[in-house]
Amino acid sequence: MRSVFFGLGLQYDAGDGPCIAINNSGRIVEVHKNELGLTIYYRTGQVNQMTVDWSPSANELTGGVDPSVALNNSNQVVEVHKNEAGITLYSSTGTVNSDGTILWNDTDDYTSGITPSVALNDSGQVVEVHRSEKTTRLYYRYGTLGSSNVDWEWDDNYDNGQTPKVAINNSGDVIEVHRSEVYEDLFYHVGKINVDDEKIDFGASEPLASGTNPTCALNDNGDVIVAWAKDGLLWQRFGKINTSLKTIEWNGDAKEYESGVTPSVATSNSMSIEAHEGAILKTLWASTSIITDRAIWMTERRAELGSRTIPQLVLPASHDSAMYLDGLAILGKTQYMSIFDQLEYGIRYFDLRPEKSGDKIIIHHGPIAGPDLSVVLEDIRKYCLFGHKELIIIDWGEFTNFNATDYQAFVDQVNASIGTWQFKGPLQPGQRLGNISLATYTQNGPCIISAIADNWAVNNPQAGYWIYRKCDDADSNIGDLVVYDYYSETTSYDEMRDDQLWKFDHYTGKQKDFPTLPCDIFLLSWTCTPITGVWFESVDPNRNLGNEITKAAIPNSYGQIMNALYVDYCEYARVTDVSIIQNDVQSARVAASPKMSIKKESESASTNDAVVIPDFGASPKRPTV
């Protein structure tokens, strides 16, 4: 199902009470009050893949508090706020220029009240909501864009409460959210602009959640995003409006995504954005999320991606994929989501480490036990039964306490559960796993590549179990799937970033000791490596993934791309969204210049380049806990 998840944002400014808006061109307008004073500032930006290119600095707009802003696809802007010390509400309109500056018209007062919120559509319809300055009554106002400001036309009381927020779309649908008069109970309304009767036809007040500072967004597809704060954490929920019942059909439960207060959300038809104030300091943060069905992201993009081979794809990947349990296992925890949930989220490259423990096989991270292998396999089976045409790569590594009998028991267990979907070949003479297109792999539904580390698949060859090798292994030439996977062995984000980006810059797409043979996958190991407490060390890498990808030269000088974006706590890095956008970027590059299509192995470097191999150094095992 379509959804959004904002994950961890990046700081873009300092201030108080941000409000953000976005249009279908990816143009962004944000307003906020300064940290300690009574001055309102605005800032513009432009979506760049999964990050925002902000204007160099914020610009002073006016004096006041509680600013709110709306933006339409014609780059027209409406802003409302309350004056500094009184109870007067003001509005202003403007136009965003191509350079990101805004030409503002004069500011006019339009009513009295507090905590205003405004929404605008492409027809110039404007809806504003606010609370009475004297009571807990909530009012809306309707108007249209005029030559110099909003021509306000009619208004009405629609409920009681506080801190209302509003959103509208081009069909005249309206979403409103607010907090109750006294308690931390949040509610929403779905309505419709009724110009003939000069009113908004609101449905009943529906319960939303428990919390404070709710916010909402709505697009022309009827997608609804709501967010709110509770106990220093931010929560989000995604759904679709039911216009006949005037309700929202929710896609799953609410999800916590960040720490902070006073969130603001906005959406176009394909991209959404969130901004909020930090939980402690007056810092402002923002994050984007695409609106898509991540469970079938390959299936939906089959026309663009189907002809690509593994070295030409970008896959979201999870580190120590099955280490999601709590209890004692929290010492080795690297993920929140189960394997099924990760598959639904879009992860397509998995790191699974089997261990023989007593009379069963489990998944482990060093000495820390994870779930039983049977649980992991059932999650994969559950997902595959949907029949989506998705390619899944499993790196089965670090077999612990195994002998030949145990390995055969492992193979039998895997076969019995997911063997139906495992790719068994056979390969044609000279063919590699990396030569086969996504469309071929998935022509009959989901396809799983099981890549086996060490020598288990060498000494016990069986259909569906392929030889995994790193590209500096002495026998990498026997590998069916050869991967460049070298982590940074540091707890410093800056050191990890510099190390991984340097490695990519110098990645030739060739095996170290066999420079005429290709390496199939460059794995960007976007992880720090603490002894334990992985969550805390994952925050900076996850915040920065989407931004750093835009700075990297992709493809690199050898014509190579990043193939697996490998992270801890994968959803907080928005790694599926980053991967999808990277695949889109490659599609656009090829479409713009077919001669620049992703190079085949034989073309990826000159004869001289092929032997310029970076110093891999030792290949340390990842810290256990």
Query: What pLDDT digit, counting tens, does each position of 72-104 carry?
Result: 999 999 999 999 999 999 999 999 999 999 999
Is the separation of the CB atoms in 206 and 159 below 8 Å? no
Measured in whole angstroms, how far is the alpha carbon of residue 303 from the centre of its chain?
22
Token reading at 313: 């794809």
Model's pTM, two decimal places?
0.94
DSSP 400: B
In this prediction, residue 587 carries a pLDDT of 85
Q: b/e for 54-77, b at 16 or more Cβ within 10 A?
A: bbeebeebbbbbbbbbbbbeebbb
| Closest of 128, 160, 166 to residue 145, by C-alpha | 128
Q: How many CA atoms lie within 13 A of 574 on its CB side?
A: 35
Please return the burial class of 233, using the count of CB atoms within 10 Å of its CB with bins 0-12, 13-18 and 19+. middle
Q: Which helix (H) or strand (E) holds 568?
A: none
Contacts 24+ apart (CB under 8 A), 488-492: 488/525, 488/527, 488/528, 488/529, 489/529, 489/620, 489/623, 490/528, 490/529, 491/528, 491/529, 491/530, 491/537, 492/528
Q: Locate all alpha helices (DSSP H) within 506-574, ordered by sequence.
A: 534-551
pLDDT, position 280: 85
According to the model, what pLDDT value does residue 594 have?
A: 53
Omega prior to 426 cis, within 30 of 0:
yes
Quote the pLDDT of residue 591.
Answer: 73
| Residue tagged 């920065």 (tokens) | 544
Element (H, E) at 420: none
The list of the chain residues with pLDDT below 50 reads 595-625
Could you give the maximum distance between any two Cα atoms of the chain, in Å?
82
